[in-house]
Amino acid sequence: MTENPDAAGGTSGGGQRRELTARLAVPEMDCPSCAQKVDKSLQRVDGITDVTLQPTTGTANVTYDPDRTSEADVVKAIEGAGYEVVGGSDAEGDDEDNQAADGVDIAPPSEVWTSPRAKKTWLGAAFLTVGLLFEFFLAGQNIAIASVLEYPLHIADVLFLGAVAASGIPVVRSGYYSAKNRSLDIDLLMGTAIIAATGIGYFVEAATLAVLFSIAELLEDYAMDRARDSLRELMELSPDEATVLRDGEEVTVPAEEVEVGETVVVRPGDKIPLDGTVIEGESAVDQSPITGESVPVDKAAGDEVYAGSINEEGYLEFEATSAASESTLSQIIEMVQGAQAKKTESEQFVDQFAGYYTPLVVVLAILTAAIPPLVIADPVSVDLAGYGFTFAGDWQAWFIRGLTLLVIACPCAFVISTPVSVVSGITSAAKNGVLIKGGNHLEAMGEVDAIALDKTGTLTKGELAVTDVVALGGTNDETVLQHAAALEQRSEHPIAEAILERAEKDAGDDVPSIEKFESITGKGISADIDGETYYAGKPALFEELGFDLSHAHLRADGGAVAEVAHEQCEREDCADLEDGAISRFENEGKTVVLVGTDTELIGIIAIADEVRPAAERAVARLHELGVAHVVMLTGDNEGTARAIAEQVGVDEYRAELLPDEKVDAVEALQAEYGDVAMVGDGINDAPALATAEVGIAMGAAGTDTAIETADIALMGDDISKLPYLYGLSHTANGVIRQNIWSSLGVKALLALGVPLGLVSVAVAVIVGDMGMSLGVTGNAMRLSRIAPERMDSKTGQETGA
């Protein structure tokens, strides 16, 4: 139980009203109609202010005023709806003491096949089997052994009644609670059918219905428990305990007791219990549970680690940066659990349809049982599609047909068809590093007609890097980098960082010392190296120094540039720009830095925000999956935008856009193409993300703002997850449609066959109820087998792993 300190309302003394929230597990509440029954029961309890019921997780979160009611009353109301409460705080205890009790996030695993309900079902099945044996195969031994109201009871009848008592009483009990809560659901329909069949002496039908329906319920419980397993696996990623350093000693404590700022120790093979920043040690960490990355990531001092990831090799110490309840993994779990609360359009349609379907079929069942015996005096023969059918006024036969329609009236299969698909899809995505914050977003993503991609941080890495080094004259690449690094080492510009990083990698630590450093605002820098002044900066800086960069060959002569034709060039160290390196780099959208003195150019360095290796493949894959229009939106200049767009293969690009102009661009795409998904960084692109039908944040691991802003978050900086997301969503929509229409189609066919005598009670239960419920659940579970393409982080090519 948790206390809600921000509850609205006040006491007579003017203070805030205290509210408590009971978080309870209700494993048997596994369908929308079950939740509806529980909700109606809770509505009758005075003092309950908010109720959140989640059938797919089997949990109930109930907020109440402790001055007006108690958790014991909440539990009693749920049990009054016919469902057992498991876990939560002690319902009989004092509320003050229960505030610290642990709540539940998902119902515990069920022992479906050995539960009390299962044992009663197996006993009923045994009675039914032996009864059928006496009824049809040992008729001579099926003697009368008792009578009720002068009606003889044979051995088979007694066995059938035993089956009804063993397997049917739990059904009738549930039906009673449904009637009590005025809920027209499957339990009420089946309970009524069992009682009616037993009351008129149709013991075979009553026993068959009781046993088969009980088996169907067990199978549905098993299927739902399997569906919950995927969420349980997600919740079990984070360890319950952490090893922390306190007073110089290692102490193992519950993870939720670790405070922000404490040092946590993780050894090889251990799971990382909280989010934090490494302060000592180096290791490879498998963070696929959070970001979906298939390859372990090297971690060293200063790097972030996430709760739920696995330390594979070395020893690590990290400083906890968030409490266990606020870790990235906790946020993922919380949002996956809450995702089911946002109903998709399909769910809304099904709920509305079920509200009309069930009462209509119940009325048809009553009319089927009552009208034909009254209006058919003599047998009537009818030829339908070449098949002859005879209808007689036998009231018992029509009663059975009405009973069968009553079974078919249950909307369970198509009511659960959408929620189970949504949960399967969302949990599968979460385990692959994609956080979908609602079933409505899952459905919307599968219907988008165009995808808009921000450039920086989405198609590109968002970090500048040296892409090309061109040595001029008699120098080499290493010399160019060493001189450039010497000049840039006092600069804090991102371009300087890129040059220093490349120099450290390719030129080592042999960087010349400098004197008389000077920053030339907006153009570059200069400094003395070995007594000579060197410059690094834009081409415009060197044009001011007297270089004619437009000519094919350049020769410096005391600071004056002399133009010389190629065939007349006498210097071997001539600054040869004949291949148009500067213009070529600029056309490719790269930033050009020249390095040299006032008399000689020694090299050219090209710098760019590198395109993600997987970007081109991701865009191509989106086209393959059926996305007709992929558009790049960027604030960069036309040349850079054009170069990146051509490289990654988008259909069009729009450059030099301010944040509000990106909103206009999204609206224009919506008007031109239809539904649009926008992919951005989740912060700067927030207005555009909010405008699109689906907003997707890149690289949201550990970024609270990104997780909160977008409808969907790609937890790692992996653009290759975008095609996976679209493919999963598109497939999920197909699965939902298959489930809904196949359920309705089978129900319709069975309903048409009932008046013709082609469908028995057993067929209605096995095919119409049990079969379709298992079918839609199994169909939904295949979404969990969809996995993203594995791509090499360096080449962007599919690895096949």
| Structural contact between residues 600 and 547, judged by C-beta atoms closer than 8 angstroms | no
Quickly tell me which residue has 């991609």 as its tokens.
453
Quickly tell me which residue has 């090297």 as its tokens.
298
Distance from C-alpha of 469 to C-alpha of 438, rounded to nearest angstrom: 48
Structure tokens at 642: 């054009």
Instruction: Provide the sign of the torsion angle of the four alpha carbons 515, 519, 520, 526, taken in this order.
Output: positive
DSSP class of 262: -
Structure tokens at 688: 């555009």
| Structural contact between residues 52 and 61, judged by C-beta atoms closer than 8 angstroms | yes
Closest CA relative to residue 694, chosen from 672, 706, 708, 711: 711
Distance from C-alpha of 711 to C-alpha of 733, rounded to nearest angstrom: 17
Distance from C-alpha of 345 to C-alpha of 693, rounded to nearest angstrom: 14
Spatial neighbors of 392 by CB under 8 A, at least 6 apart, are 376, 379, 380
Closest CA relative to residue 213, chosen from 176, 162, 169: 169
Q: Which entry of 454, 636, 717, 769 is annotated as an active-site residue? A: 454
Distance from C-alpha of 798 to C-alpha of 558, rounded to nearest angstrom: 55
Q: Cα dist. 736→102, 220, 224, 787 in Å?
A: 35, 18, 16, 19
Spatial neighbors of 318 by CB under 8 A, at least 6 apart, are 263, 264, 266, 272, 276, 277, 278, 279, 305
| Structural contact between residues 38 and 98, judged by C-beta atoms closer than 8 angstroms | no
Burial 250-275 (b: 16+ CB within 10 A, else e): eeeeebeebeeebbbbbeeebbbbbb
Total residues belonging to the chain: 801
Closest CA relative to residue 772, chosen from 220, 225, 183, 187: 220
Q: Could you confirm whether 510 is annotated as catalytic?
A: no
Give kind and range of the element (H or E) at residue 319. strand 316-320
| Structural contact between residues 696 and 714, judged by C-beta atoms closer than 8 angstroms | yes
The residues carrying an active-site annotation are 454
